[in-house]
């Protein structure tokens, strides 16, 4: 399965707004269980924390109740497992178990209710009757009685991951994969009947952040058209968080991505990365002036949790766990509240409670330098200022009709982020059901990508409106299906 590409890159420790207000208070609890060689926490809910710890060369899913001593080992049979989410007294993740009588063991999506013995196998093998076989599955998020993750389907042993939704049983499995034309998909978070994750597909097979509402047909593409890919990792209160790729903009050749916040649409994208004008950075295509690196993984009550790297020496970047409240400037560096001796940290899960305004719980892990050990961490904040109200959506870009020849003018590198463009012509190459080229008679076809579109055939005449990404011959018009009209 493709991994989410939310990498992290450098920021200066002296960036304004990087420390919590003096009136706020933060405490830190080391959750590393006795005897564990490492531990990581991924989720937090109602006083419980869930994650994994290492014992005897195996990953074990586990549950805490606020202290290291409260650790409960959830591993079903001692063959390896990981806890990835917790909600309403239920824990979810995956475990290596018997694969329905097949040779060996496989990873299966699993749901627990507080103990190893309570585990429920969610792998959708043969449920419902007639579906394609699966041979591996995982849960990454749980909320409101639903679980999300991925299941490898359509063939054995060659399979691809499909975003998946469960409601407590294997038989409840729902395939959220958008359509047969996509390569793979996965779901990372669920809350309030909404699910978030990613999909990929032609022409460039970048990941696209996605939002669902319980069915494959309900998916919404959250990927900004100018980006080099994206993934949504958490959802809550009408907000979605994740990361958006800016491409290869660093002088050292590494890719970068920015922590991102959405409110249900690609147009609602908010860049949470603190950013700034560091030396030796290049940004050619993104509408954002500088490329820093960060990722957001959890959201609750208008606060977002994630990590952002800081430059502690030239080209030596160290990730710090942190929290935002809707804007890049609201960043709170949670790493600064750790005891000395921790070199890096990450925040993955976050919880707020309407019954306790001003309180925030964040979980993740930090690297203990002296022990060379990752240790699960719980941060608890009190008297935290309320989050800022959501930013208003940006105004729609003006629409500009353009000839195919003009599309390839060098000025498009700058204009592509400022206008919505309309192209038209004959469909000359049908790459997939939603990806094709149109030629207006100039002999210079333009590629159009409209995920979810159907009904376009070679030889049709079409008009498409959207935004461009790329440069030169790699320019692509990204359109919503509703903005593609077949003329005949």
DSSP-derived secondary structure letter, 414: H
> From residue 292, how far is each of 159, 198, 272, 274 by CA, in Å?
35, 22, 10, 8
Nearest-angstrom CA–CA distance, 300 and 361: 10
The pTM score is 0.81
Query: What is the third-level CATH fold of 25-382?
Result: Methylamine Dehydrogenase; Chain H (2.130.10)
Assign domain 399-486 to its CATH superfamily: Nucleic acid-binding proteins (2.40.50.140)
- Contact, 75 vs 95, CB < 8 A? yes
Q: Where are the domains of the chain?
A: 25-382, 399-486
Cα 477 from chain centroid (whole Å): 24
Cα 81 from chain centroid (whole Å): 22
3-state secondary structure of 397: coil
Judge if the upstream peptide bond of residue 98 is cis by omega within 30 degrees of 0.
no
Nearest-angstrom CA–CA distance, 14 and 31: 29
Nearest-angstrom CA–CA distance, 440 and 99: 54
Query: pLDDT tens digits, the chain, 488 residues: what are they?
Result: 333 333 322 222 222 233 333 357 999 999 999 999 999 999 999 999 999 999 988 999 999 999 999 999 999 988 899 999 999 999 999 999 876 555 567 889 999 999 999 999 999 874 443 444 556 899 999 999 999 999 987 654 457 899 999 999 999 999 999 876 778 899 999 999 999 999 987 666 788 999 999 999 999 999 887 787 899 999 999 999 999 987 655 555 566 788 999 999 988 999 898 764 333 333 333 343 343 589 999 999 999 999 998 777 766 778 999 999 999 889 999 999 999 999 999 999 999 988 889 999 999 999 999 999 999 999 999 999 998 776 676 677 788 999 988 888 888 767 776 788 999 999 988 876 678 899 999 998 998 888 777 788 889 999 999 888 766 667 788 888 888 998 87
């Amino acid at each position: 399965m493709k991994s989410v590409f939310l990498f992290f890159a450098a920021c200066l420790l002296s960036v304004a707004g990087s420390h919590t207000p003096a009136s706020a208070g933060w405490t830190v609890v080391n959750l590393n269980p006795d005897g564990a060689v490492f531990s990581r926490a991924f989720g937090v809910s109602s006083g419980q924390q869930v994650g994994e710890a290492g014992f005897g060369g195996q990953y074990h899913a586990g549950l805490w109740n606020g202290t290291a001593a409260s650790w409960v080992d959830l591993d079903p049979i001692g063959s390896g497992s990981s806890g990835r989410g917790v909600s309403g007294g239920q824990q979810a993740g995956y475990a290596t178990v018997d694969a329905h009588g097949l040779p060996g063991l496989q990873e299966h999506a699993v749901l627990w209710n507080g103990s190893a013995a309570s585990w429920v196998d969610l792998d959708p093998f043969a449920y419902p009757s007639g579906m394609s076989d699966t041979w591996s599955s995982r849960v990454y998020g749980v909320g409101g009685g639903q679980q999300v993750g991925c299941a490898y389907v359509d063939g054995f042993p060659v399979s691809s991951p499909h975003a998946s939704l469960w409601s407590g049983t294997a038989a409840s499995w729902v395939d959220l994969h958008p359509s047969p034309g996509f390569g793979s998909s996965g779901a990372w978070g669920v809350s309030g009947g909404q699910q978030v994750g990613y999909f990929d597909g032609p022409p460039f097979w970048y990941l696209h952040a996605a939002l669902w509402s319980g069915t494959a047909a309900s998916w919404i593409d959250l990927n900004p058209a100018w980006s080099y890919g994206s993934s949504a990792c958490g959802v809550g209160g009408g907000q979605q968080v994740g990361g958006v790729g800016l491409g290869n903009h660093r002088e050292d050749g590494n890719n970068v991505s920015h922590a991102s916040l959405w409110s249900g649409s690609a147009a609602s994208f908010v860049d949470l990365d603190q950013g700034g004008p560091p030396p030796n950075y290049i940004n050619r295509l993104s509408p954002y002036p500088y490329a820093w690196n960060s990722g957001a993984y959890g959201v609750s009550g208008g606060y977002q949790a994630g990590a952002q790297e800081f430059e502690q020496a030239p080209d030596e970047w160290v990730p710090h766990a942190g929290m935002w409240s809707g804007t890049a400037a609201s960043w709170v560096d949670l790493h600064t509240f750790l005891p000395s001796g921790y070199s890096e940290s990450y925040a993955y899960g976050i919880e707020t409670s309407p019954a306790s305004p001003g309180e925030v719980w964040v979980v993740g892990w930090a690297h203990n330098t002296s022990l060379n050990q990752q240790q699960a961490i719980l941060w608890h904040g009190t008297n935290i200022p309320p989050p800022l109200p959501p930013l208003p959506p940006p105004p729609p870009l003006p629409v500009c009709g353009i000839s195919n020849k003009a599309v390839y003018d060098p000025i498009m590198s700058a204009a592509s982020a400022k206008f919505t463009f309309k192209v038209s012509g004959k469909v000359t190459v049908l790459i997939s059901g939603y990806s094709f080229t149109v030629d207006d008679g100039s002999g210079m076809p333009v590629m159009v990508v409209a995920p979810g579109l159907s009904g376009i055939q070679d030889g049709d005449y079409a008009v498409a409106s959207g935004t461009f990404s790329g440069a030169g011959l790699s320019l692509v018009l990204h359109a919503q299906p509703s903005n593609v009209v077949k003329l005949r």
